Structure 1
């Protein structure tokens, strides 16, 4: 199993969404030691902050509407700052897309581990979401693939297995996915039927 590369945190911009508090000062000191650029904002993140590399947010006083993206779809890793372990507060933090957490009061350690865990969890979640999107797209294109197979069955007098092999070979020859090739075959079919 390969190890992920080390993050170059010196280029990172960290955003802390929290009211003034000693824990915020402690966290900012830790981030400064990691040579990160730190900005503290409250009560919400606006569009100018969406280029941050990581967001630390207050799970205790946080509320819906503090983020300029849909709930659970943060464009960067998120770390919840948790003081109250009330189930409702923890559930709210998870619903926002928290990838890691730090317990308050924050001392002199913990930020580095939280950043690494959040970044790793965020990358896995993004990769899985991308995989799901690709699979959903392929599933949506299945009817087109079936129509292309039927066209090959009829036009080239092939059996089902032969039509599948032919579709895959055409896709390889054209340098396209099976689904893209099926769409092209079906477009040609529609042009023929409409006299195009």
Structure 2
């Protein structure tokens, strides 16, 4: 990037177009101290633009549209002079081609700073135009590259320059020329540019531990969805031959692959149906927790004031209670069922994500793009849902994935303590609860559901950590 050089004010002149007498007096006073020669023009007076390095136009009495057209055609930087920095004045300045706005009262410092800003921005715009022009010339001779760029711009909603930079970075990463890259994709966007979801999935499966975790999660989900067809027996059916002569559970063997429980029921069938219960509660409870936490954190971080303070003090109050004790108390108050257990877990798990979303919303609200949207008159709902929420989606996705592990463990804990899902509905936690008296004589009754819980929690944790690494730009490249 070339360094911006201060223009030679002494060798050129500054045009003052349609300025009021009082403005002219203040401008001449400041410009004289800066050593800048100024020339006044009114109502499209015919004058040469030779040696003109910039122009100042007063918006209110403006009456020189032809002069402004000539200045824009010549690429001369234009400064709009106004006494009010309102949206209407900003729009008017943009229509005239101004690259900077000078507010009254006029001072030597404001004149110098605004002139330098206008000249620097004009040079940047001219440089960008030259770059895009050169790029367009190169694309005329490479139709496949032009086609790939066009499709990439439409699908990714980016401009031509950014699309070209993405293709160039990808070609360097793959050690292939641009022509080879687009020729292999038939003129469409390369595979690595076919959408963020596919890129994220490829990044995840490249990690062996995460790939195995995803495979285990898919297997558990399929077993839960198709439990009636995948389980060899009815999970509630008690088999006379499912107990030994002494009335003890049978160990893993045919026809009961994982053995039987203390009532002679097939353990594999109960584990498959238990996966349905545990996953349902995990997804429902975590989904509600993420929804509540996101709404509370987003509202508190955006609204601030007494509303934000009230919401976050309530969040702090909820965090002060131990989650397990609060869940046990709520489960004891209400009649335990699958829905009640899911609601109880959601009520104690939303506080962490509310804190995270609150912190990120405060940071995002202070960004320049939010201030610009407010200046342009955007409503609070538009800022929330069109600007803040899309930036928060990666964080929400990571916490939604990590939270499933927590909810599955909490459901298993509540069921083991007898205040979760009640028999005969199978869940991994109450299978361990029912079989704890046989821990020494029939350890498979505790081992198999226990290992299922551990593996599912570990799988969601590994996937959540990988998502955080891929979606958080500050962590990319560390793993």
CA contact (8 A) 1:53 1:77 kept: yes
The match for 2:91 is 91
Bigger proportion of residues as helix: 2
Give the number of the structure with larger relative contact order, counting CA–CA contacts within 8 Å between residues 6 or more apart.
1
Alignment of 1:173-184 (within 5 A): none
The match for 1:8 is 8
Describe the SS at the equivalent of 1:114: helix
Q: Distance in 2 between matches of 1:70 and 1:9?
A: 21
> TM-score with structure 1 length normalisation?
0.63
The match for 2:116 is 116
Instruction: State the Cα distance separating 1:70 from its structure 2 match.
Output: 6.6
The match for 1:104 is 104
The match for 1:78 is 78
Change (3 A) 1:129 1:48: same
The match for 2:31 is 31
Instruction: State the Cα distance separating 1:47 from its structure 2 match.
Output: 5.1
Moved more, 37-46 or 125-134: 37-46
Instruction: State the Cα distance separating 1:72 from its structure 2 match.
Output: 5.3
The match for 1:65 is 65
CA distances 1:39-80 after superposition (whole Å, capped 9, x unpaired)? 011122545135411000112233572425379545211111
What runs of 5+ residues in structure 2 fail to find an aligned partner?
147-175, 181-479
Change (3 A) 1:45 1:126: farther
Q: Distance in 2 between matches of 1:61 and 1:12?
A: 25
Q: Distance in 2 between matches of 1:142 and 1:127?
A: 23
> How many residues of Structure 1 are paired with residues of Structure 2 in the alignment?
150
CA contact (8 A) 1:60 1:84 kept: no
> TM-score with structure 2 length normalisation?
0.28
The question of 1:21 aligning with 2:21 is answered yes
Computing the radius of gyration over CA atoms, which structure comes out larger, 1 or 2? 2
CA distances 1:99-152 after superposition (whole Å, capped 9, x unpaired)? 212112324441111111111111101100111111122222324999xxxxxx
The match for 2:410 is none
Change (3 A) 1:92 1:45: farther
Instruction: State the Cα distance separating 1:2 from its structure 2 match.
Output: 7.2
Q: Distance in 2 between matches of 1:50 and 1:36?
A: 15
Describe the SS at the equivalent of 1:16: strand
Change (3 A) 1:105 1:135: same
Change (3 A) 1:24 1:125: same
Change (3 A) 1:63 1:86: farther
The match for 1:56 is 56
What runs of 5+ residues in structure 1 fail to find an aligned partner?
147-160, 166-196
Q: CA RMSD in A?
A: 3.2
Change (3 A) 1:91 1:140: same
Change (3 A) 1:46 1:92: farther
Describe the SS at the equivalent of 1:106: coil
Alignment of 1:42-53 (within 5 A): 42-44=42-44, 46=46, 48-49=48-49, 51-53=51-53
The match for 1:128 is 128
